[in-house]
Structure 1
Amino acid sequence: MKMLFGALALLFLAPILARSLNPSLNDDVLGLIVFKADIQDPEGRLVSWNEEDDSPCNWNGVKCNPRSNRVFDVVLDGFSLSGKIGRGLLQLHFLRKLSLAKNNLTGSISLSLAQLTNLRVIDLSENSLSGTVPDDFFTQCGSLRSISLANNKFSGQIPENLSSCTTLASVNFSSNQFSGLLPSGIWSSHGLRSLDLSDNLLGGEMPKGLEDSNNLRTINLRKNQFTGQIPDGIGGCLLLRSVDLSENLLSGGLPNTMQKLTLCNDLNLRKNSFMGEVPQWIGEMRSLETLDLSENSFSGQFPNSIGKLQSLKVLNISMNAFTGSLPESMINCENLLALDASQNLLTGNVPSWLFKLGLQKVLFSENRLSGGLDGAFASSIENSLIKLQVLDISHNALSGEIPSSVGDFSSLQFLNLSRNSLTGGIPSSIGELKALDILDLSENRLLESIPLEIGGATSLKELRLHKNSLGGKIPTSIENCSSLTSLIMSWNNLTGPMPAALAKLTYLQNLDFSFNELSGTLPKQLANLAHLLSFNISHNQLQGELPAGGFFNTISPSSVSGNPSLCGAAVDKSCPTVLPKPIVLNPNSTDSTPGSIPQSLGHEKKILSISALIAIGAAAVIVIGVIAITVLNLRVRSSTSRSAVALTLSGGDDFSHSPSTDAKSGKLVMFSAEHDFSTGTHALLNKDCELGRGGFGAVYRTILKDGRPVAIKKLTVSSLVKSQDDFEREVKKLGKLRHHNLVSLEGYYWTSSLQLLICEFVSGGNLCKHLHDQSGGNSLSWKERFSVILGIAKGLAHLHQMNIIHYNLKSSNILIDSSGEPKVGDFGLARLLPMLDRYVLSSKIQSALGYMAPEFACRTVKITEKCDVYGFGVLVMEIVTGRRPVEYMEDDVVVLCDMVRGALEEGKVEECVDSRLQGKFPADEAIPVMKLGLICTSQVPSNRPDMVEVINILELIRCPLEGHEELV
């Protein structure tokens, strides 16, 4: 600790020692070097400040008097400096301006900079300075003219002796936390021109004596807690240009002396408690350009004298209790640009003079205006048509039709005529408003169809037409409004279908067509609206299946209710006439009938029907399927048996002498000459050596001459493979694949009636057994499961890099070797069977449940690698939860994807993790992995990541702080 204090002392004393050793080192250099010692300079802006220099006049941010060569300006605005303001600055005896604005300085002001007798300007604004301003800060303020402490964190009271600085012309203490009363002598500074104490916590009544500040030009006390009335003395400040007393607790009426402020340009009294009528003398303040009296309790009619304010540009009298009509004398306010009279009690028609002025903004919402718009619109002049940008006359009692001349307001960006009693149709001229962003005609009595020309308003972002009586169809031209984010047309009489053109509104966030008479099916392309937040089509006559994917995976049931013929998960109603999303097969069926058509299909959880009619129908389908498949299998078995016998009896010589042998029994090709079959007690297709059966056929185990075991898959659908060339070309392509997470293909055997694939033998069994076989007693740990998921992902990624789709991903096709490493098997086999169509193929290879991507059920959608990604997602959830993809209960079906998604929405996703892992898994890995699984099972293929992206995500989940590595 002593050493630390010693080092700090040396740091402080170093400049002083340097001065004693170098007599030429003047006070300015010394002062600035000491100041720099307390400052951090991350951008190196003070690098030119060198204590070895004789003069600081060439230092960055420093200026000197050319005659005396002494520092008179230090301006370091925006230098990103931090630290505290040290005492070194007190050495700058000739300093006139100190500006440290827009930095990151902290701490309090512990020294009286005002004591520098030549200092005229202090600007410490936009820092993080805090604490109170010392009481003696202004005791000796010399010739100080301007001080700004704005945008800091100062607190406490403003020092009373501020008023002793008679030379002060500008004081800015805005945006701090000053509290208490204003100094009683604040107005006695005769030289004071600008006082800004806005955005603080100051309170109490404003002190008297304001008339003494006869040089005051600007007073800003906005956003404080001042009470009472405006002092009468304000009228004595004849030079006032700007008065802002808004957002306080001031009350009473306006003092008559204010009419003397004939030079005042801006008067802002917004958000106080002023009351009574606005006096006629307001017209005497003829220099007013901005008058804001909003959010008070003014009442009565607005004075006719307002017409004298010919310089007036902005008038805001909103949120008061003004009655009657605005005076026609306002036609003389020829410079008026913005008029806000909303939320009052104004009556009568929309003023006929309103659009004769060159107004840009007109707000009359929430009044009691009546009559039509024809008169006001007809009286407009060409000049106003170009300028008007905002028109809001909503929430009144207007009637009649919307004039077609509304299309002449070519600069209009915001038009709100909602909550009136307007009738007729929407004029086609609306389409001429090319700059229009928001159109709100809701809650009127509009009839007829929405004009096709509305598509001409190409800048529209919000279109609100709800609660009218509009009929006809939704115009397809709406697709031209490509910037739309909100499209609200509920509670009308719209008919016909929802046009597919809506799917082109890619920025759409909110769509509401509820309570109409729409019919037909929903365009599937709506699922591609990536920014959709709400979608309500309830209470229509829509039918068919809801779009799948994206927002529609989590759509609220209330948003689609009231459409009896609509089906899908959200309405808890299956779609019997449409093929399922993922295909789910009955787990009680066996692979002995691999080509049978599944009876019960669907992705969502459904209650299985037990009615007699359905049971009879399903039984009939099964019987017909069994008969057909039995005949086919008998034919295949007959030819296969003959070939198998020939193969077995051909002896080892036919197989061992050459890696490629043509014999009477067929053609055998081994991809490595080192691997030949041995003869002996193991027949090639010995029933006792059978390892299992799958959708493509049975698998047997046999031994090579070197003692290494291999697996042989006999294809049961061999009679469908007609071309030997096609078969060999595909098998050789698969044989070239080598990856530590893929089962290697070692060779093949061919005859026209029998095909065998010779594969690497993996001793650890398949993943399905490890996950669901409870007899062993051992369960995969979380670390092992994560490694399996990552290994599967790497194997699939390698397949996809070689342009090979697996087609048949499931846990029984994932083998585990002796070191626990997963190996993906049975890949690419579907390419060997070109004669199988998609549906037969899908029912054959998906012998396990729930892995099939929804596009298998749609013949018009291309099968891509994203099908494998879907199956991988199901596998991920199966591995984490320990549950099968589909589980049949007594009366219902539980689909794993739906279960996990529902748990995620309810915040209970941790409960889905395999119970055998409870307390033994990291939630920060398991939950993101399950979320990744859900993303991979998106209904829309384009929303699923590719496998390389999956690997990167998994690596980030496991090692979030480590860099990316080559993973495949």
Structure 2
Amino acid sequence: MRLNPFSPSRFLSQSCHLSPPNRRKMRNFSHFLVFLLALLPLTAESAGPINDDVLGLIVFKADVVDPGSKLASWNEDDDDCCAWFGVQCDPKSRRVTEISLSGLSLSGKVGRGLIQLQSLRKLTLSNNNFSGTLNPGLAKLPSLQSIDLSNNSLSDSVPDEFFSQCRSLRAVSLARNAFSGVIPPSLGSCSTLVSLNLSSNKLSGPLPGGLWLLNELRSLDLSGNDLVGEVPNGMDRLFNLRTISLRGNRLSGPMQEDIGRCLLLKSVDFSGNSFSGPLPETMRSLSLCSSLSLGSNLFSGELPDWIGELKSLQLLDLSSNRFSGEVPDSIGDLMLLKHVNFSGNYLSGSLPESMAGCRSLLTLDFSRNSFTGSLPSWSFQLHLERILVSGNKLSGSLPVPVNVDQSLRMLDLSANSFSGWIPMEMGSIRGLQFLNLSHNWLTGSIPVNIGGLKMVEVLDLSGNQINGSIPREIGGAVLLKELLLKNNSLTGGIPSQIGNCSHLTSLILSHNNLTGSIPPTMVNLTDIQTIDLSLNRLSGSLPKQLSDLPHLISFNISHNLFSGDLPAGNFFNTIPPSSVSNNPGLCGAVVNISCPGVLPKPIVLNPNSSSSNASSDPALSPENLAHKKIILSISALIAIGAAALIALGVITITVLNLRVRAASASQSAAALTLSDDYYSQSPGTDANSGKLVMFSGEHPDFSSGAHAILNKDCELGRGGFGAVYKTMLRDGRPVAIKKLTVSSLVKSQEDFEREVKKLGKMRHTNLVTLEGYYWTPSLQLLIYEYISGGSLYRHLHETSPMNPLSWQERFDIILGTARSLAHLHRHNVIHYNLKSSNVLLDGTGEAKVADYGLAKLLPMLDRYVLSSKIQSALGYMAPEFACKTVKITEKCDVFGFGVLVLEIVTGRRPVEYMEDDVVVLCDVVRGALEGGRVEECVDGRLHGKFPPEEAVPVIKLGLICTSQVPSSRPDMSEVVNILELIRCPQESQDSPGDELNRI
């Protein structure tokens, strides 16, 4: 039977070709049709039922976006839909019983058309991109047993009606969507449910008590939500339960005693919550349990001896809790155990010898505890794939691997007290991919057969007392990605065979006694990202091809004996000065040392030669060698004499220029003595008198009296752009006068005045106000308001330890500085020279930023000149200052601000020079953050008198601002918003961490 050519279903099909407005109208019409169909009697005699299924699916299709045309076979002209893609029917009634449309990239919404399918038993729409809300009518279908809408983009709350009339529903999966709100209390009405998966959504609130009424339930997964509170009583009613996962919520309280009465349980995952207290003893009855995951909770007490009664256990994860005491010997009775993880607890004693009986064991993780004794021999006798015992107190020599099975993939013995040599047999573990023996007391040399580890990707031997050289055989580890050998006593050179390790991303050889040069083969490491060769005795020049390494982001060769100029281009255009410091022979803009020019060798012509043939030149004959030596000696003497004359001339001219400039400066300074006659002159009539402008329009009227304005006794300090003096106006108000020492570089008077007047308009509570200026071609003065409290540098580094800045004062300074920079940036002014000595404090402790925008007074932003003028800002300067091809933007100020934040919070200088090391503050704090020790970075003078909930986000913000990539740094307006949020988090629903993650 065909549908009427003018039937609504034909219009619905045609709606797919209509314009969007008309198509929306047709979709609304489809919903009206569903309503009408619901009113029609469904009798056995009519031909309607088949057509109802066709029409229902066509209505559903109208709401679906099908980019792959998977539903092209769905044609309303067909008598039935049993041959359509993804549709199955009952062979007798020809009614639709199953729809399976998984993983087809479908989108749109799950419309009401499906509620026409009265015989539908299974609906699978998983792994698509359906959005909108969940239609409660789906669960009311009388025959529906299974519905899978997992891995879509459905949102809003799960309607309470969805579970209130679920009839014969046995399996529901709404996992990996965006459902929110609470789990509907009506869930307890679905007494036929066998499987329920609501994982990876945004569900909140407590677990509903009705959950335990589902006594047919075999699988329950509520993981990856935001559920809170304790697990309610009554779990023993789930006597058919096989698997339960509450992982990754915020559930708390003790584990329910009645869990042990769920005797059929095979998998329990309560990890990633806040459950506390000891393990209930009833759990010893779970003899069928093969997987027990309770990691990342607050469980405490000793590990129970009955753990050995769980004979079916294959996975046991009790990591990151508060368990203490020794591991019971009964663990050796777990013959089927494959994976055991006790890491991150307070366990002590020795590793139990009884575990030699765990013949199925593959993974052993006992790291970050307090185990003592030696590494038991069974660790290398079982067929283990992973041995992780780092961060304990194990000692003794490393056991010699005997008949090691090639299944061992990971061996981490780091951060213990192992001593002695590295056994040669370590190189015979052919399948090893990760070997970490760092931070022990190992001695001797690196085994020469270490290159036999053909599969190793990470080799970390750092922090030991290993000597000898790096074996050439290391080139055999062709899959090596990280080679970490720092903090040892290695000697010799870097083997050229290192170039065979073409997959290397990190090469860390710092803090050794390596000599020789960088092998040219290192340019073959095209995947390398980090190279650290600092604190060695390496020498020679750097291969120019290092600049061609495409992924290099860190290159540290500080504290060596390298010479010559740095490679140019790519990463080396932005390399931080600290990464190449303390190499006396290096030259270039980064180290602020000019490289000597390469001059061509002089050509000495023989006047007696009449032939162009070099082989016949009599001057080259043996009998005329003495004559050639005389010619060369005379030439050398002439060259030396000429050079001496040139040098003498340069010195003479320099001295004369200095005298003229000094005389000019003296005259200009004298012109600024406290004389009323000077101010009565017209700026335009006498070039020597200069031009004085006050932005307020008032007469400056400096107090006449004893001495000149620029008297040495009145000097307040000196910076990269000049000295600052204090003087008084006649009304008693003090001002600060900066004498610019870049006169030869300053722009013309017109350009100078334009830039200064722009700075004079920058009025802000946290900016030092520029009140006026004085101009002559040889002398320029800037007149500022006087700030009495001194510089932030003095308060941080020069005041008494008994009177440090409080946390409140430090936070206010950080916030005030951020607001001032945001104000400057809104007016297109870049500071260029932010540092703690340029942040002043007034009498109330308010931060006042000084010296802003002065670099724009130069004729061009020559980075070499600029960096030489602000060398005191070393440590604050963004890496792009070293790159001539990168535009200097506001992000440079953001970098300097980030360093300043870390300096204020830690009380340490940005760069500290030790006896044999250079410590960069950003690196220290970043390492502490990665190691979970960030609170230890806060200035010790605060003695714990600081709120961690403010200090930690502020430190993280400082690190984000010091990102090496300018685009990764936030704008200062964003910084201000984040700081205000950190100070007052209750005013926003978002946490400061959320804001930091958005940047």
TM-score of the pair, normalised by structure 1: 0.60
Deviations 1:881-934 (A, max 9, x none): 997999999x99xxx99895475376579xxxxxxxxxxxxxxxxxxxxx9xxx
> Structure 1 residues 262 and 888 mapped into 2: Cα distance closer, same or farther (>3 Å)?
closer
CA distance in 1: counterparts of 2:559 and 2:276, whole angstroms: 52
Q: Which deviates further from its counterpart, 198-207 or 516-525?
A: 516-525
Q: 1:322 aligned to 334, 342, 347, which one? A: 347
Alignment of 1:138-217 (within 5 A): 138-217=163-242
After superposition, the Cα gap between the structure-2 partners of 1:481 and 1:887, relative to the gap in structure 1 and judged at 3 Å, is closer
Q: Is the 2:200–2:225 Cα contact (8 Å) retained in structure 1?
A: yes
Deviations 1:40-91 (A, max 9, x none): 3232222222222221111111110001111110111123222222222222
- Matched letter for residue 542 of structure 2: L
Matches within 5 A, 1:760-779: none
The answer on 1:395 being equivalent to 2:415 is yes
The reply to whether residue 377 of structure 1 matches residue 400 of structure 2 is yes
Q: Which amino acid aligns with 1:381?
A: N
- Taking the aligned partners of 2:24 and 2:325, their CA distance within structure 1 comes to 73
* More displaced 10-residue stretch of structure 1: 128-137 or 190-199: 128-137
Equivalent residue number for residue 303 of structure 1 = 328
Change (3 A) 1:4 1:521: closer
- For the 8 Å contact 1:395–1:419, the answer to whether it is kept is yes
Moved more, 503-512 or 290-299: 503-512
Distance 2:254 2:293 in 1: 15
Structure-to-structure mapping, 1:845-860, within 5 angstroms: none
Match for 1:553 among 560, 570, 573?
573
1:349 aligns with 2:371: no
- Aligned counterpart, 2:684: none
Distance 1:900 1:409, change over 3 A: closer
Match of 2:646 among 608, 611, 617: 617
1:505-524 mapped onto 2 (5 Å cutoff): 505-524=525-544
TM-superposed deviation, 1:168: 0.7
Partner of 1:234: 259
Q: What amino acid sits opposite 2:95 in the alignment? A: R
Greater shift, 43-52 or 340-349, is seen at: 43-52
1:531 alignment partner in structure 2 = 551
Q: Which has the higher contact order (CA 8 A, sep 6+)?
A: 1
Distance 1:208 1:885 in 2: 73
Letter in 2 for 1:616: L
Contact 1:38 1:85 in 2 (8 A): yes
Secondary structure of residue in 1 paired with 2:441: coil
- Between the aligned partners of 2:104 and 2:550, the Cα distance in structure 1 is 43
Aligned to 1:438: 458
Match among 61, 64, 71 for residue 96 of structure 2: 71
Residues 486-501 of structure 1: matches in 2 within 5 Å?
A: 486-501=506-521
Which consecutive unaligned segments of at least 5 residues does structure 1 have?
A: 581-611, 622-771, 776-880, 910-930, 932-968
Structure 1: distance between partners of 2:91 and 2:79? 15
* Compared CA separation, residues 59 and 908, structure 1 to 2 (3 A): same
Moved more, 452-461 or 235-244: 452-461
Q: Distance in 2 between matches of 1:412 and 1:520?
A: 36
Q: Percent identity?
A: 53
Q: Within 2, Cα distance between the matches of 1:97 and 1:497?
A: 70
| SS of structure 1 residue aligned to 2:82 | coil
Deviation of 1:112 after TM superposition, in Å, equals 2.9
Q: Which string of whole-angstrom CA distances, capped at 9 and with x for unpartnered residues, describes residues 488-530 of structure 1? A: 1111111122222222222221111111111222222322222
Opposite residue 518 of structure 1, the aligned amino acid is L
Question: Which residue number corresponds to residue 605 of structure 1?
Answer: none
Please say if residues 312 and 333 of structure 1, whose CA atoms lie closer than 8 Å, have aligned partners that are also in contact: yes
Structure-to-structure mapping, 1:917-932, within 5 angstroms: none
Give yes or no for contact 1:464–1:487 (8 Å, CA) kept in 2.
Answer: yes
On the 8 A contact 2:351/2:375 being kept in 1, the answer is no
Task: Map residues 658-807 of structure 1 onto 2, 5 A cutoff.
Answer: none
2:115 corresponds to 1:93 = no
Cα distance in structure 2, aligned partners of 1:222 and 1:50: 45
Give the match for residue 271 of structure 1. 296
| Partner AA of 1:351 in structure 2 | P
Give the Cα separation in 1 of the matches to 2:892 and 2:221.
Answer: 54
Task: Assess if the C-alpha contact under 8 Å between 1:190 and 1:214 holds in 2.
Answer: yes
Shift of 1:13: 4.5
Query: Paired residue for 1:312, among 337, 358, 373?
Result: 337
Q: 2:315 matched to 1:290?
A: yes
Letter in 1 for 2:410: V
Match of 2:492 in 1: 472
Cα–Cα, structure 1 residues 579 and 62, in superposed 2: closer, same or farther, change >3 Å?
A: farther
With over 3 angstroms needed to count, the CA separation of the structure-2 counterparts of 1:512 and 1:188, relative to structure 1, is same
Change (3 A) 1:254 1:16: closer
Which residues of 2 match residues 561-640 of structure 1 at below 5 A?
A: 561-576=581-596, 578=598, 616-617=645-646
Judge which range, 338-347 or 134-143, deviates more: 134-143
> Is contact 1:266–1:291 with CA below 8 Å preserved after alignment?
yes
Q: Secondary structure at the match of 2:153?
A: coil
C-alpha separation in 1, matches of 2:549 and 2:118: 68
How far apart are residue 17 of structure 1 and its match? 8.6
Instruction: Kindly state the Cα deviation for residue 2 of structure 1 after the two structures are TM-superposed.
Output: 12
CA distance, structure 2, for counterparts of residue 2 and residue 255 of structure 1: 62
Tell me the equivalent position of 2:953: none
RMSD across aligned positions (CA):
3.6
Among candidates 888, 895, 907, match of residue 904 of structure 1: 888
Deviation at 1:579, TM superposition (A): 5.5
Partner of 2:236: helix, strand, or coil? Answer: helix
Q: 5 Å matches for 1:781-930?
A: 901=885, 903-904=887-888, 907=891
Tell me the secondary structure at the aligned position of residue 112 of structure 1: helix
Describe the shift of the 1:319–1:54 C-alpha distance in structure 2 as closer, same or farther (beyond 3 A).
Answer: same
In the alignment, the residues of structure 2 paired with residue 517 and residue 905 of structure 1 have an alpha-carbon distance, to the nearest angstrom, of 38
Partner of 1:134: 159
Task: Report the alpha carbon displacement of residue 483 of structure 1 after superposing the two structures with TM.
Answer: 1.5
Assess if the C-alpha contact under 8 Å between 1:485 and 1:508 holds in 2.
yes
Quote how far apart the aligned CAs of 1:278 are: 0.8
Partners of 1:899 and 1:549 in 2: how far apart? 8
Deviation at 1:563, TM superposition (A): 1.4
Q: Which amino acid in 2 is paired with 1:86? A: G
In the aligned structure 2, how far is the partner of 1:425 from the partner of 1:900? 45
Structure-1 separation of matches of 2:531 and 2:748: 49
2:73 maps to 1:48: yes
The number of residue pairs the alignment matches comes to 619
Residue aligned with 2:147, SS: strand
Cα drift, residue 8 of structure 1: 5.4
- Indicate conservation of the 8 Å contact 2:529/2:552, yes or no: yes
Selected match of 1:452 from 453, 456, 472 = 472
| CA distance in 2 between partners of 1:908 and 1:269 (Å) | 47
Counterparts of 1:348 and 1:204, CA distance in 2:
41
For residue 561 of structure 2, what is the aligned residue in structure 1? 541
CA distance in 2, matches of 1:217, 1:540: 63
Alpha-carbon spacing, 1:4–1:414, altered in 2? closer, same or farther (3 Å): closer
Q: Tell me the secondary structure at the aligned position of residue 391 of structure 2.
A: coil
- Who is 1:826 aligned against? none
After superposition, what is the alpha-carbon deviation per residue over 1:831-879, rounded to whole angstroms, capped at 9, x for unaligned?
Answer: xxxxxxxxxxxxxxxxxxxxxxxxxxxxxxxxxxxxxxxxxxxxxxxxx
The CA deviation at 1:577 is: 5.6
Partner of 1:738: none
**Match for 1:236: what amino acid?**
R
Give the Å deviation of 1:329.
0.6
Q: Structure 2: which 5+ residue stretches go unaligned?
A: 1-19, 601-640, 651-746, 751-857, 870-879, 894-965, 967-999
